[in-house]
Structures are given as C-alpha cells and as structure tokens.
A and B are shown apart, each in its own frame.
Chain A
C-alpha cells in the first residue's frame, strides 16, 4: 500500500481527474486535427486553383489567422463570438479556435506542396488527354500529399500543444486538471512533470504513427 502524502498516492487519488483531462486533451486535439484538415484541404485547393476573388479572400483569412497568436484566437472565439449572438461553450469556442488555426497551416502546407510540382507534369498530362480532375487525382495529389505529410504531422503535434491554451477559458484539459491537483497538494514539480510526460507521449505517438505512414507510402527510389 502506498503511503498518503507521496506522489504515487496523490496520483492514485487523482486518477479519474487526470484520465478526464487526458480524454479532453485527446478529444479536442483529434477533433481539431480532423476538422482542421478537412477545412485546410479546401483552403489549400482554393489557394492554388481558385478564381482571383476566392483566392484573395482565402489569402486574407490565412494571413490574418497565421499572424495571430493561437492564444488570442482562443480568447476571441470565447468572448467575441458571444457578442455577435453565437453562444458557444468553452469547449466549443476552444475547438473552433484550434480548427481555424489548424486549417490555415494545413492549407498553406498543401498549397506549397502542390505548387512545388513541376508545371511540365500538368502540361504533359494535358497532352495525353487527361481532364483536370484526372490530372489532380492521378498525377498531382499523390505527389503533393506525400510532400505535405511531414509538415502535416508537425501541425498535428502542434495542435496537441496548443490545446493547453484552452485551460485559460476554463476547459478542464490535462494542464488545468494538473493545476487543480497541484493546488490541493502543492506537488507542483511532480505533477507538471507528469503532465509534460503525457504530452510528450501523445506527440511521440503521433510522430511515430506519421513516420510509419510516411514509410508505407514512400515511393521506391
């Protein structure tokens, strides 16, 4: 039996709270990555293939969001959206901010990857009679997605770390839960270290999974 007052005892007492916080962190990060990727893919496609009006508008969106700290995005979606009549819970507001942030990064990555492909490929594909959808699906996308993959994995790990900012608006994710526990037992070093370890493990898992996908889809060279 572990003695009261030790770290392991406090960890055991707090196990459900920590598990809750861990679940919230994973849930909000994964939702942000999935939704942000879907939105970001649209953003990337518009930036490359859109007409000038839509390209201009999306460019403003991307530059504005990327030029703003995530922290400010989180506060703005919590406080400003409620003023224009959109009542979001803290979780929804935080998720919204993360999705918006994620979408601009994914969009820019995709744009960079698509534009790095030599023009000659599109021209050659046209020359053999492929339509644009065919060119995109068979020629451009397979290469661009491979190129964008490392940057996408990086963005995914960034999202997990950015989710800590949601503690400011009262979303009880892993960091806020850790602070709640520390305020009860004053074991700041132990519990911050433990939280750091869990964040590292989540990001490490994402990175390993990403690397595995990269290997799997790598073209024989």
Chain B
C-alpha cells in the first residue's frame, strides 16, 4: 500500500515538476510571498507523537510543530500566524514541489536522493536507535546489556533490517521481532525482552509520558538527520529558514528551542558556549 502510494506520488510529482517549470521563473521569492500573505503554510502530519499529533483537546502539538512555530515567529514576531496542512508522510515531497505548502517539517530524514527533489534546511534533530530498558529490571545500561551477550533478548519492530540493526549494537543478543510498536513495549513490560530497540525520540517520549517506568540504556546508533524541506531553487527562502533554525539552536531563540526539546524529549540541553561560536569548535 505504502509502496504503491509512493510510486503513484513519485509519478505525479514528476509530471507536476515538468508542467510547473516555466511558471517558476517569473514568481516572486517565497519569502516575500509569505510575508505579504501574513501567515506561514506548513505541511506536517498529525499521527506521530512526539513529533506532530493531536493532544487531548484536539490541538496539533509536538516537536515538529514547535520548529514550525519558531519559523513563523521569525517571520512575523508571532508564532500563531501559521496554518498547518495535514499530510501523510508520503505527501511530504509532493506538497512542497507543487507549492501547496511553504515548508514541510515532518520528521523528514535527509537523504541525498530526496535532496534531488527538495532543498533541505539545516537539521534540527538527529534521530537514532535507542535501547529502552525497564526501570526495575536487572539490566539497566548498555554496558550491562553488552556484557550479558547472548543472555539478553531485544524486542524490535518487524523489519527486514531489524536483526542486523540490533546486532550492530549488541552482536550476540537474541532478537524478537513484533508486528507493532505497542507489542515491543509490551514484551519489555512482561519481561519477555530485556530491552526494546526503538527510535530515540519514541523512547524519550515514552520516558516523559510514563515517568519512572523506563530508562534509556544510554547508547544511540544508526544516525539520521531530520530537516525541514522547501521547494528547490529559492535560495533566499532557504537561507531565511536556515538562519532562523540556526539561531534557535545556537542563538537568540535557544530558549524556545531548548524548552521544546525538554518538553518532548525530557532532556535539558546545555546552552551554547559564549564567546567563540560553537560552530567552529
């Protein structure tokens, strides 16, 4: 289903890209267009906590949402001047290339293939795999897991690469694959698994939402960068977004960024060192 969708969308995107090419040249820059419109149109999803999801009162919240708000604040000095377009993961690239959204911020992994279709901003998060362990279990750290060798069982979401992925961190561990995310946590809760391998962000979010129940074993691997994406060919708009995000992670908006990071991932970020810019260290 998802593969079919992706192929269908890829076809449509190609078609659209061809037909839209002549119109592109005479358009004004996106930055001016957004400023004139008075609100930022952001493509994102609504079904993945803690990235973008509906809270109990139906508001769209999450780390992606906060990142988008930082961009809106940079544009208008007001993070409410924003319109979210709900899109599936497969619609991230088409909605950018067809101009339905100004920017997509939806836990989008940066790859060279995708960079041929859209322009990526600088990354705002580095995703990886984490090992989640039970807070009251005997094995709590990565070193203990590794030392236990073939004596540990790791639950993981079913995937062609799942076994190799776990073995990259714990070469001798026994790997149990499950059909859905709730089942891998269930295996951990019931003691059938000693650790659950899952996304860093999911692990941290689970620790935030169920305090005292789980711990992060403290090892991350399989790095992936998450960036926002904009339409190709508008360097001015890309620069603006990059500057905004960069200053959120290292400059004037660091407070906003780190408060959001703390809220969704439960981690206090050390403030950037004052003096020599952190980028060059």
Contact = CB atoms under 8 A, between A and B. Distances in A.
Contact of A83 (B8, B20, B48, B88): B20
A172 B181 CA distance: 23
B9 interface: yes
B115 interface: no
B12 A180 contact: no
A179 B47 contact: yes
A184 B19 contact: no
Contact of B54 (A72, A75, A168, A184): A184
A129 to B, nearest CB: 56
Contacts of A184: 49, 53-56
Interface in B67-114: 85-88, 90-91, 94, 98-100
Interface residues on A, range: 20 to 34
A76 B13 CA distance: 10
B88 A168 contact: yes
Contacts of A179: 47
A76 B15 CA distance: 11
A167 B1 CA distance: 14
Interface string B37-76: 0000000001111000111101000000000000000000
Nearest to A13: B56
A180 B98 contact: no
A182 B86 contact: no
Given A75-B8, A186-B181, A83 B16 contact: yes
Contacts of B19: 83
B47 A183 contact: yes
A17 B86 contact: no
A189 to B, nearest CB: 8
Contacts of B100: 82
A188 B185 CA distance: 14
Contact of A182 (B47, B56, B85, B98): B47
A80 B16 contact: yes
B26 interface: no
Interface in A139-189: 167-170, 172, 176, 179-184, 186-188
A180 B54 contact: yes
A14 B53 CA distance: 13
A137 B156 CA distance: 66
Nearest to B18: A83
A79 interface: yes
B281 interface: no
A136 interface: no
Contacts of A183: 46-49, 53-54
Nearest to B181: A186
Which of A169, A176, A181 is most buried by chain B, counting CB atoms within 10 A of its CB?
A169
A162 to B, nearest CB: 15
Given A17-B54, A184-B53, A184-B56, A170 B85 contact: yes
15 contacts: A17-B58, A79-B16, A82-B100, A83-B19, A83-B20, A83-B98, A169-B88, A170-B88, A176-B86, A182-B47, A183-B47, A183-B48, A184-B49, A184-B54, A186-B185
